[in-house]
Structure 1
C-alpha cells in the first residue's frame, strides 16, 4: 500500500482553479493527499517551495483498454480491398488472445507511465480480458484485474477499474465466438469483481461496472446489473452507437436505436458513461441530457478506426457532460485528444472554433473543451470532487514554459497554445494524490518498464507477418 503523503505546502505562479486561471496561488495538501487550502492572490512566502510553472489539474482518461497499447501502430496497412472497424477488431483479437497476467502488467505499466506524461492522473480501465484464452478461469480468478491494479500502483496513476459484462457476439448470437471466450463475464461476475476491487484498499483505486455494448449483453443481464447496482454510487460505462452497423442491428432487433433503447428502458442516470456515442440523433442527445449521463468521446481512436464524427455542437448545446479517453492508445495525451475533438468538427463543418460559445461568455475553444473534459472526467471516474479546490485529490500538472510551442505566448492564451500549438513537451512535473510521480521530466522506473514492455512486444510480434 502506498505510504500516505506528509502534509505539504507549495506556491504556484498561476493555477487553473474553478472559474479559470488565478494568480499567485498558495496550495496546501493534507496527510490524505487532498487539497486542504487553495488560496489565490497570495504573495510567495519565503519558506514555501515554488512550483516551476503554471499549474493545471490532472485530467481523467475516461476510457482505456490497456492491452491495446501493444497493438498501437500495427494496424496501419491494408492488404485487402476494404478495411474498417470490424476488420481492425479481428486483428486486435490477436493481442487479446495472447496476453497473460504478467504480460498485461508490463503493457499496462508502460501505458500508465505514458498517460501520466500525457497529463492524465486517473485512468478508467474498461477491462474485458478476464480468463485464459480458452475461456477457463485462472487459478486466481481475478489475475488479470490484479495485473492492472499492480501496474497502476507501481506507476502511481489513479485507477478506476471497470469489469465488463460481455456474454454474446452480437444481437442475433446466443454466445461468444471462440476468439472471444476469455471475455465472458455475466452480471454477477461483474458485480463480484467490482466489489473485490473496492475491498483492495489502495488509496488511488476505485471501481465501477461496465457493459461492453448492447450487442454483447442480453437485455435481462442489463436489468440484473441494474438490480445489483441499486444504491451503488460508482460509474457505469458502456460502448454505445460507435458503428452504424451496431445502430442498424439494434433497430432491427429492438425497433429502437441504442441510446434510445437505454433511455426507453429507464436505465440511464447520472452514473452512466456513454462511450463514443458517435451515431446519435438530437432526440437521443436530449434524452442523455435529461438523464444526467456523460458522453465519453475518444477522438484519436474514433479517427483511427474510421468510426465517424459525433455531433459535438449538439452535445455542448444540450449541456451534456463530456469526457475524453485514450481508448485504443494510438494517442496517449489529452492535449491531442482535445485538439482532434475540435479539428474533426472543423473538417466536417468547414468552420473554425466550433466548440467556442462567445454568446455564453466562452470565446476560447480550448478552455471550453478543457473544462468540459475536466468535469466529465470526474463523473467517469466516480469522483465527486475533481480539480484544484479543497477536498479534491491533490493532482496537478506543471507546465514546462521552456516548451518551444509556448515561447512568446501571452499568459492569457496559454491553454489555447497548449492544445492547439504542437508538438509540445510532456509536463515538467506531475503529482497524484500528493505524490510526485514525474519530477523535472524524470519518471522513476521508466527505463525498466520500457525494457519489460519491449520484451513483451518481442514475444507478441517478432515472428508476426508485419
Structure 2
C-alpha cells in the first residue's frame, strides 16, 4: 500500500457526506469540509460554504461516504464468476476445489492483487480475507508456512487496501453421525494443520504485535471454517489465540441445510448451539451467512452480541436461501456485508439485496433504512474486522472516503431528494469515481492509481488459473 500522506493536512469539500453521527438524524450533511493529517481525519465541519473553503481543497461533487468494508472474501473464488450456474452448492464446491488445486504463489498473488484492485474501484477500503489455502500440493508446507497468507497481505497493500487476514483453522472433511471426524482428502490437504494447536503454532510464525497487527495496514484475525471442518474440542485453542491478541474470529454458520442436519446427527445441536457451547460466540466473533437458523439460534447470537456478515448476492447465486437478517439485528447482532465468492463485487448491491430479499420473503417493504444499510457497509464491517476506528467520517478515524457523483443516469436528481436513499435504491459500484484509503488517493475519476489496467490484470490472472 502506498505510504500514508506526510507533511501538511489534506482537505476535501463534499457536496453531501454521510457522517453516521454528529449530523442530522440520518447522518447526512451538506457542504462538509473534511481535513486529515496522515492517515486520520482531524476535523469535520458541515455547512461550510464553498466560498470559505481553503485553497488546495479537493472538491467532491455528489455523495461521499466513509470507505466500505468487505467483511468476507475468498479472493480465489473470483475465478469462478459466472461458472456452473446450473449446479448445486456442493457441485459448485467441487469446481472451487479444482481452482484451489491449481493455485501456486505466483498465480495466487496476481489474482488476489487484481481482485483487491477491483474492490478498490467498488469503494472498498478494507477487506476481511477468509484464508484457508495454506499449504502446497498434498498438504506439504512451504518453506515459510505462512507464504500464501503473506502474499495476500502484500496483494492488498499493492491494491491500496487495508486487510484483516482471517487465517482459518480447517481440520476435518466433515463428521459422521456420533461426531467422528472424516479426514481431509484431495485438495483439502492444502487447508489443514492437523490440530488447532498446530494451527496456533503456525500463526505464531507471523510475528504480529500483541494486538495482531502486521505493519500499518494489515492485521491478523482467526477463523473457524465451520462446524463441519473444526471439531468442537478444537475450538478453544482457536479462541485462546483470538483472546490473547484481542483479535476478531469469524466462522461460516448454517450456510446449507445439509450442514445443519450433519451437525445435529454428529453433536445433537445446531451449529450455533455447538459453537456457543465451545465458547466461540461473543462480541469479537462474526458468523458468516447465518442463513438457516432456529429461533434459539437467533437468541444465542443476539444475546452474545455476535456479529453477522450477510452475503446476499452469493447466497442468491448459490441458491442457499435467505437469512433472517431483521430478526438477527433486532436480537442484538450487528450486521455487516461481504462479497464472499465474488459473483460480483458491489457492496451497494449486497446492501440492496439484504433489503430486497426480505421483501420477497415477507411481501413487506422497509426492513432496513438507508442509514441501516450504510452502517452495515461501513461502521459494522470495519468493527467486525478489528478496525473500530474506521468506517466513519469523524476526527480520529482512518481517512477513508468514497465518492459517488449524482449526475449519472442511475442517480440523476438524487441531490434534490435523499441522496443516501437513492444510492442504496439504484447506485452500483460502477457509479463510484473516487476513493481515498488511509489518507492516500487510490481511485481518481474511476481510474485505479496503483494498478494500471484492472480489467486486463483480472482477465490475465483468471486465465492463468483456469488454463
Quick one: distance in 1 between partners of 2:428 and 2:32?
Answer: 28
Quick one: distance in 1 between partners of 2:428 and 2:192?
Answer: 41
Tell me, yes or no, if structure 1 residue 22 matches structure 2 residue 22.
no
Per-residue deviation, 1:168: 0.6
Q: Match of 1:229, SS? A: helix
Cα shift readout 1:17-38 (whole Å, capped 9, x = no counterpart): 123111222212122x011112
Quick one: distance in 2 between partners of 1:56 and 1:411?
Answer: 18
Per-residue deviation, 1:201: 4.1
Equivalent in the alignment of 2:255: 242
Q: Match of 1:14, SS? A: strand
Match of 1:9 among 8, 11, 15: 11
Quick one: distance in 2 between partners of 1:337 and 1:444?
Answer: 25
RMSD of equivalent CA atoms: 1.9
Cα shift readout 1:121-171 (whole Å, capped 9, x = no counterpart): 100000001111211011222221122111111110111101100011002
Equivalent in the alignment of 1:41: 47
How many residues of Structure 1 are paired with residues of Structure 2 in the alignment? 447
Relative to 1, partners in 2 of residues 1:391 and 1:422: Cα closer, same or farther, differing over 3 Å? closer
Q: Match of 1:446, SS? A: coil
Equivalent in the alignment of 1:93: 97
Tell me, yes or no, if structure 1 residue 75 matches structure 2 residue 84.
yes
Q: Match of 1:268, SS? A: coil
Quick one: distance in 2 between partners of 1:191 and 1:5?
Answer: 35
Equivalent in the alignment of 2:246: 233
Cα shift readout 1:250-280 (whole Å, capped 9, x = no counterpart): 1111111111222233331111000001111
Query: In 2, are the aligned partners of 1:345 and 1:354 still within 8 Å (CA)?
Result: yes
Name whichever of 315-324 and 97-106 sits farther off: 315-324
Query: In 1, are the aligned partners of 2:126 and 2:162 still within 8 Å (CA)?
Result: yes
Match of 1:390 among 388, 395, 400: 395
Relative to 1, partners in 2 of residues 1:244 and 1:202: Cα closer, same or farther, differing over 3 Å? same
5+ residue gaps, structure 1, are: 356-364
Quick one: distance in 1 between partners of 2:286 and 2:40?
Answer: 25
Query: In 1, are the aligned partners of 2:34 and 2:44 still within 8 Å (CA)?
Result: yes
Residues 153-232 of structure 1: matches in 2 within 5 Å? 153-172=157-176, 173-185=181-193, 186-195=195-204, 196=206, 198=208, 201-232=214-245
Equivalent in the alignment of 2:459: 454
Q: Match of 1:62, SS? A: strand
Q: Match of 2:29, SS? A: strand
Match of 1:401 among 394, 399, 406: 406
Name whichever of 227-236 and 166-175 sits farther off: 227-236
Q: Match of 1:35, SS? A: strand
Per-residue deviation, 1:193: 4.9
Equivalent in the alignment of 2:106: 102
Quick one: distance in 1 between partners of 2:356 and 2:421?
Answer: 14
TM-score by length of 1: 0.91
Tell me, yes or no, if structure 1 residue 114 matches structure 2 residue 113.
no
Per-residue deviation, 1:423: 5.5
Equivalent in the alignment of 1:442: 447
Cα shift readout 1:311-366 (whole Å, capped 9, x = no counterpart): 122122223100000000011011110111111111111222232xxxxxxxxx32
Equivalent in the alignment of 1:358: none
Quick one: distance in 2 between partners of 1:145 and 1:397?
Answer: 27
Relative to 1, partners in 2 of residues 1:318 and 1:116: Cα closer, same or farther, differing over 3 Å? same
Per-residue deviation, 1:398: 1.2
Quick one: distance in 1 between partners of 2:245 and 2:217?
Answer: 19
Query: In 1, are the aligned partners of 2:442 and 2:450 still within 8 Å (CA)?
Result: no
Q: Match of 2:261, SS? A: helix
Per-residue deviation, 1:421: 1.6
Query: In 1, are the aligned partners of 2:160 and 2:450 still within 8 Å (CA)?
Result: no
Relative to 1, partners in 2 of residues 1:409 and 1:452: Cα closer, same or farther, differing over 3 Å? closer
Quick one: distance in 1 between partners of 2:31 and 2:460?
Answer: 46
Residues 253-264 of structure 1: matches in 2 within 5 Å? 253-264=266-277
Query: In 1, are the aligned partners of 2:239 and 2:279 still within 8 Å (CA)?
Result: no
Name whichever of 185-194 and 119-128 sits farther off: 185-194
Quick one: distance in 2 between partners of 1:350 and 1:138?
Answer: 52
Q: Match of 2:70, SS? A: strand
5+ residue gaps, structure 2, are: 22-26
TM-score by length of 2: 0.91
Name whichever of 220-229 and 42-51 sits farther off: 42-51
Quick one: distance in 1 between partners of 2:109 and 2:207?
Answer: 16
Per-residue deviation, 1:292: 1.4
Query: In 2, are the aligned partners of 1:285 and 1:318 still within 8 Å (CA)?
Result: yes
Tell me, yes or no, if structure 1 residue 310 matches structure 2 residue 323.
yes
Per-residue deviation, 1:433: 0.1
Quick one: distance in 1 between partners of 2:354 and 2:437?
Answer: 26
Tell me, yes or no, if structure 1 residue 63 matches structure 2 residue 72.
yes
Quick one: distance in 2 between partners of 1:424 and 1:166?
Answer: 33
